[in-house]
Chains A and B, each alone.
Chain A
Amino acid sequence: MLPCGTFSKDYGEDSAVIRTRLQWVITITALVFLFTIPLWGNDYIIGLVSYTCILIIAVLGLQITTGYCGQVSLGHAGFMAVGAYTSALLTIKLGLSFWLALPMAGITAGLSGFVFGAPALRIKGFYLALATMAAHYVIIFILMRLEITGKTAGLHPPPPEIGNFALNTNVRMSYVIISVMVLMTFLAKNLVRTKAGRAFVAIRDNDLAAKVMGINIYYYKLLAFFIGCFFAGIAGSLLGHWWLVITPEMFTIPQSLIFIGMLIIGGMGSISGVFFGVISLRLLEEAVTLFAPLLSAAIPAVGMDIAAPLAGVTFGLVIVLFLIFEPRGLVHRWQIFKVAYRFHPFSYV
C-alpha cells in the first residue's frame, strides 16, 4: 500500500521497487550506513555484520527455493559447503583469482543443487525435504573422505587480492562481503519479479494447477533449486575466504534447520523477510552467547558449555511462538505497521 498521492504515470513507474522520495532517502542512508560500518566499528561489530551478511545471502537462496517455489530444502548448509570447497580448491590448486572463483563456486553449488534437486521431479513435500537432508549428509561425507578436500582437517583458502593488496583483515573483507550482499539482494529482489519468480509462486501455491496453466514445473523446480544453491555457494565461498579455514564441521544439519527457522521468523515468500529473520535470530544468538556465561556463573549447577544448547532451546521456543502467533513472520507485522502509519488519522485500510 503506497502513501496517498503516489501515482503511476507509466509502466516503468508502476514496476519500480523504490517509489517515493522518502524510500530513496531511506535506501541511500541505509546503504551509506552499511558501507561506513567498517570505518567506525570495532572488530566485534564488523565480524558480526559480515557474518550476518553471509547468512543473508544464504537465506536469500533458501527463500527462493523454499519461500517462493515451495521446495523445502533441509540441506542448504550442505550446498554452502559445496561453494566454499569449490572456491577454495580453485584458488589453492589452480591458482585462480578469488574474483573468478566466487561465481564459479556459485555455479558449482547450483549444479550440485540440480543433481540433488532432481528427485523433486518425482517426489514432493516431506519426502523431498528429507531427500535434501540426505543430500546434505552425502555431500559432507564426501568432503570428509576425499584426499583433495583435506578430509576432516579441511582447507585453508587464501584471502582475496586486488592487485597485490590482500584483503586479509576483517575490515577489508567486510567491504567485499557487504557489496556482494547488496548485489545479491538486488538480484533476488528482481528475480522474483520476473516470469520465473511468478512461476515459482504458482508452483508453490498448487503445482498441479500451475502445470495446467502451462508452466513447465520440472524446469522451474530445477531452476529454483539451481538459484537457491547458487546463492548458498556464493555465501559459502565468502565465508571460506574470510575465515581462511573451512572444515566439514562448519556446515551442519542443525545449521540448515536454523536457516529454515530464519525464514519462518522473517516471513516466507518475501525478500525483506530474509533480513528480518536473519538479523533478529543473529541478534538473539549473540544475546544468548553473552548471557550464557552469566547464567553459568549465577547457577553453577548448569555447567559451563551451555551457549550452544541454550541457543537451540531459545531458537526452538521463538520458532514455536512465531508459528502459533504470527505464522506470516515479522515482515507481516512490518507491513501492518506501515499501512497503519500511512493511513494514520484513519483506522481503516
Chain B
Amino acid sequence: MSELLQYMITGLMIGGLYALVAVPIVLVFKATEVVSIAHGAVLAFGALFFWFFFVALGLPVWLAILLMLAGAGLLGLIIERFTLRPLIGQPLFSAFFMTVAIYMILDGIFALILKGGAVAWPAFLPTGHVYPAGVRISLSLLTTFGISLLLFGILMVFFRYTRMGLAMRATAEDHQLSQSVGISVQSIFLLVWIISAMVAAVAGIATGNVMGVSYYLPFFIMLKGLVAALFGGLDSIPGALVGGLTLGVFESVAAGYLDPLVGGSIREVAAFVFLLFILIGRPSGVFGLARIERV
C-alpha cells in the first residue's frame, strides 16, 4: 500500500512538470486553433538560454531568468512573425505542419549546439528529499510542482479576468467575428506566441532542474507535453493541469508495477496506450469542448 502511495506521489510531482509543459501548447491552441509541435523545442531552447546566461556568462539567477524570458519571447516573436503569420487564412493543417518544420529546425540547431552531449547547471533551487508520513518526495520536483501551480493560477486569472484574456478567448472562437469587433487577430497571435514561448522557457528551467538538458530533450518533452495536453483537451487550461498530473501518476504506477513484468521502459509507452483509449472514449479530451459542426 505504501508502495502504491509512493508511486502516486512521485507521479504527481512529475505530473506537475508535464502539466507545465502542456500549458504553452494549450495556450497556442486556445488562441489560434493550431496544435504546436514546436513548443518542445522552444522549451529546450529556454533551458539552453538559461544555461548560457547562468553558467556560461556567470550572471546571477534573477538576471539570467529575466534574460532567458527575453530570449524566449524573442524566439516566439521570430517564429510567429516569419513563419506563422504568412499562413493566416490558410488551412489549419498548413500551420500544424509549419510547427512540425519549426520543430525540425530548432531540434537540429539544438543538437548542433549540444553536439550529442548534455549541459547542466548548479542547483539554485532546494534539492534533497523530504519524508512526510514515510513517503519520499524530491524537493526539486516539489518546487517544480509549486511553480506549475503558481503559473496555472496566473494564467487562469489572466484568461478569465483581463481584457486581453477575453480577446484571446474570442479569437479562439472565431477569427472573423473577433476582427469585426475590433480585436486585432494578428497582434493576439503574436502575443500568444510570445507568452507561450516564455511559459515554455520557464518549463524548460523546471525540466532542466529535474533531468538536465540533453540533446534528446526536445523530442522527449514534446511527446509528454502533447499527451498531457491531448488528455485534458487541447482548449482547456485546467485540462492541461489534470492531464499532466494524470499522465504522471499513470506512468509512475504503470512503471512501478509493470516494468518487472515486461523488462523496463513501460513508462515510455504507457502514456500512449492510455491516450489511444482516452481518444476513442472522449474524442476531444476529458475537459475539451466538443464542437458541433454544420455544413
Which residue numbers of A lie inside 8 Å of B, CB to CB?
72, 116, 118-119, 122-127, 129-131, 133-135, 137-138, 141, 145, 206, 208-209, 212, 253-254, 257, 260-261, 264, 302-303, 305-306, 308-317, 319-320, 323-324, 327
Contacts and interface: CB of A to CB of B under 8 A. Distances in A.
B90 A327 contact: yes
Interface in B103-127: 103-112, 115-116
B280 A141 contact: no
A129 B96 CA distance: 10
Given A130-B226, A309-B111, A320-B83, A138 B104 contact: no
Most chain-B CB neighbours within 10 Å: which of A123, A257, A323?
A323
A49 B35 CA distance: 36
A135 B93 CA distance: 20
B280 A312 contact: no
B249 interface: no
A327 B90 CA distance: 9
Contacts of B90: 327
A306 B105 CA distance: 13
Contact of A320 (B102, B109, B115, B268): B102
Interface in B56-92: 83, 86-87, 90, 92
B105 A145 contact: no
A122 B280 CA distance: 7
Contacts of B279: 119, 122-123, 127, 131
A310 B108 CA distance: 6
Contact of A206 (B35, B100, B295): B295
B262 A145 contact: yes
Contact of B104 (A118, A257, A327): A257
A310 B112 contact: yes
Contacts of B83: 320, 323-324
B276 A134 contact: yes
B152 interface: no
Contacts of A135: 272, 276
Given A127-B283, A206-B295, A134 B108 contact: no
B286 to A, nearest CB: 13
A130 B100 contact: no
A317 to B, nearest CB: 6
Contact of A137 (B105, B108, B262, B268): B268
A323 B108 contact: no
Given A127-B234, A137-B272, A319-B97, 15 more contacts: A126-B96, A126-B234, A131-B279, A134-B275, A134-B276, A138-B273, A212-B295, A257-B100, A261-B101, A261-B104, A303-B112, A309-B109, A309-B111, A313-B104, A324-B87
Contacts of B284: 123, 127
Contact of A260 (B100, B219, B226, B230): B100
Given A137-B269, A309-B108, A310-B112, A323 B283 contact: no
B283 A123 contact: yes
Given A131-B276, A208-B293, A316 B108 contact: yes
B280 A316 contact: no
B177 to A, nearest CB: 21
Contact of B101 (A124, A127, A302, A316): A316
A135 B272 CA distance: 8
A302 B116 CA distance: 12
Interface in B247-295: 262-263, 265, 268-269, 272-273, 275-276, 279-280, 283-285, 293-295
Given A130-B35, A323-B97, A324-B83, A316 B263 contact: no
Most chain-B CB neighbours within 10 Å: which of A119, A126, A260?
A126
A119 B280 contact: yes
A127 B97 CA distance: 14
Contacts of B275: 130-131, 134
A312 B108 contact: yes
A246 B262 CA distance: 22
Contacts of A253: 219
B115 A141 contact: no
A317 B280 contact: no
B266 to A, nearest CB: 8
Nearest to B91: A327
A323 B94 contact: yes
Nearest to B229: A130
